[in-house]
Amino acid sequence: MDKSSKTCPKCNIDKLLEEFHKATASKDGRQCWCKECTRQYGKEWDKEHSEQRNADHKRYREAHPENSRAASKRWQKAHPEQCAEQAKLYRERQPTKSRARDKLKYAVKSGRMSRPTICTRCSKIGAIQAHHEDYDKPFEVEWMCKPCHILHHKGRA
């Protein structure tokens, strides 16, 4: 075998020794992989690790959602009695209503129901609210946009 060339185990190409980086520790004085493969590998490594960095950032954002939510959570934790009291007062004021809303919210969250993005009244696309005709039937709702929802309640009053 010609001493001035060797086969790169990565790309399986027989290349001149000068196509390999110098490596004093190895017996032929050259690195195992050719320059091209080493460069390619470095690029892949960078790519992989930048993806890893992005994933880390994403995880951090998910673990630390927007500050307002974190702040209100902190407040709730620091004032558990007031919080429970407020929730209780709220439930007592609107018992079936809030229970129906909670049930619906849970159904949407768990994927049993889906919240549409189109108003069933005016077909407008946007933030859609759930209107309960009967709060004893939490899953029987009409989805409508805020203006339609307000109008609907005004019309009944």
- Give the binding site for Zn ion (CB under 5 A): 8, 10-11, 34, 37, 119, 121-122, 124, 131, 145, 148
Question: Please, which residues bridge with residue 130 across strands?
Answer: 143
CB of 28 vs Zn ion, minimal distance in Å: 15
CB of 16 vs Zn ion, minimal distance in Å: 12
Residue with Cβ nearer Zn ion (77 or 93): 93
CB of 119 vs Zn ion, minimal distance in Å: 3
Residue with Cβ nearer Zn ion (8 or 100): 8
Of the candidates 105, 110, 97, 109, the residue with the CA atom closest to the CA atom of residue 137: 97
Residue with Cβ nearer Zn ion (91 or 152): 152
**Rounded CA separation 139/144 (Å):** 15
